[in-house]
Amino acid sequence: MTKELKKLFITFSAAIFLLLLSFSAIAYFSLASSIQYQQRLESSQKIKEEQQEHFIATADGLKLSLKESQSDEEEPVIYFITNEKNMIKSSNYGSAIIDEVYQQIKPNTKVNHQHLSLNNKHFTVAANEVRTAHEVYWIYTIHDSTEAYHGLKQLRVTLISLILIYVLLIGLLAYLFARRAIRPYEESIERERQFIQDATHELKTPLAVIYSATDIIKLFDSDRLSHESTDALSDLRTEIQDMNLLVTDLTQLSRRPVLESVNLSAIAEDAARKLSIHSRIKKDIKVNGDEQSLKRMIYILVDNARKYNHDSVKIALSLSSTEQMAELTVRDNGAGVAEEDLPFIFDRFYRSSGQQHIKGSGIGLSLLKNIVEAHSGQYEAYNDDGFVVKIKLPKR
């Protein structure tokens, strides 16, 4: 899976997951709120009915009736009544539940639809204060909410299962559609790579022949050339060398790096010696990389530092490491890069304003970007008393 496809797949799957999760959460909490509201209404109604049944209105106010009434309901109401000291009345139905609830709740307090779990069953308890002429009573009702509790629990499990199933299915579909959508892009990139490989291959031979011809002219006929012809020959040789560098860069840009365990410390030390620059390199740092590409990457950084600065510019290469990453830094003490150009310097063929007169293909840093990304690395460029490029590559 390519990096672009993976990013597209993860983004789409995450969006679908969040959408389904939001919808399921809204559906669940809406239903749960509706059920709880219905239970509160039922509890309030039952308290009101029990209060009317057990407290009789007299001339002196309300009076508790200890007479047990006969209920015609299929499921009698479970209730009990307390005063400040004891339970003084309760329903004949559900005495075991009443005893459990009475032990768990705080006596003589208003319970606002409290949920209790008893012996794998679930109940909603509500209470209300009733004042008579001589005493204060509390009437409690107990509503069996086991069915609603397990219904909501089953709904949670169902919604979570559906979310996971739909995310997997939609993720699979997203992957298939993303593969189909990105296939033309991959084919286009492959055609571009093949074209560059073919074009550079065809250019190498005539460039080599032309350069050899200039060598012959310079060797055998230099004394007979006019001053203008000598200058023209020198310019031609310079242009051929520049063209060869461009062909080399294009070849590097089109090739797929072969990653294997390489000693980045040894590559950096060799490059610093050949390029005659100051270096500070930690020994034996190994990465999973392509040796030729990594050498080219260092050359590009040093060549850029020399090309866009004065002759006396000082260039330093350093290589260090953290627990997981190798950090290669190339810095110079030149003028740096204009801040408005920094975001674009890794774009292909981009040339900073005012530097178009400097010879170059404009693909050096773009090639560096491709090399770093092919190695699953990171890169950054900034000004710090000169221009600095820092590259991080995963350690082997």
Whole-number Cα distances in Å, 183 to 5, 30, 196, 278, 376: 10, 43, 20, 46, 22
For domain 3-152, give the CATH number.
Answer: 3.30.450
For residue 4, the model assigns a pLDDT of: 64
Cα-to-chain-centroid distance, residue 325 = 20
Enter the DSSP assignment of 259: -
Residue type, 123: F
Residues ≥6 apart with Cβ < 8 Å to 161: none
For residue 3, the model assigns a pLDDT of: 64
Where are the domains positioned within the chain? Answer: 3-152, 258-394
In angstroms, the CA 379 to CA 277 distance is: 21
Q: Residue 126 class from Cβ within 10 Å (0-12 exposed, 13-18 middle, 19+ buried)?
A: buried
Q: Residue 383 class from Cβ within 10 Å (0-12 exposed, 13-18 middle, 19+ buried)?
A: middle
Instruction: Judge whether 246 and 361 are in contact, CB under 8 Å.
Output: yes
Tens of pLDDT, residues 71-119: 545 556 788 888 877 888 888 778 888 888 888 877 666 666 777 888 7
In angstroms, the CA 197 to CA 195 distance is: 5
Residue 362 falls in which region: left (phi positive, over 0), alpha (psi -120 to 50) or beta: left
For residue 25, the model assigns a pLDDT of: 87
Q: Are strands 278-281 and 315-321 parallel, antiparallel or unpaired?
A: parallel
In angstroms, the CA 211 to CA 240 distance is: 7
For residue 69, the model assigns a pLDDT of: 57
Q: How many residues does the chain have?
A: 396
In angstroms, the CA 49 to CA 43 distance is: 10
What residues does 113 pair with on adjacent strands? none
Q: Residue 73 class from Cβ within 10 Å (0-12 exposed, 13-18 middle, 19+ buried)?
A: exposed
For residue 337, the model assigns a pLDDT of: 84
In angstroms, the CA 54 to CA 48 distance is: 10
Please identify every stretch of the chain with a pLDDT value under 70, giving residue numbers as ranges: 1-5, 66-76, 107-112, 253, 350, 352-362
258-394, which class in CATH? alpha beta
Q: Is 159 helix (H, G, I), strand (E, B) or coil?
A: helix
For residue 389, the model assigns a pLDDT of: 92
Instruction: Judge whether 54 and 71 are in contact, CB under 8 Å.
Output: no
Alpha carbon distance, N-terminus to C-terminus of the chain = 22
- What does the block give as tokens for 117? 């779990």
For residue 286, the model assigns a pLDDT of: 92
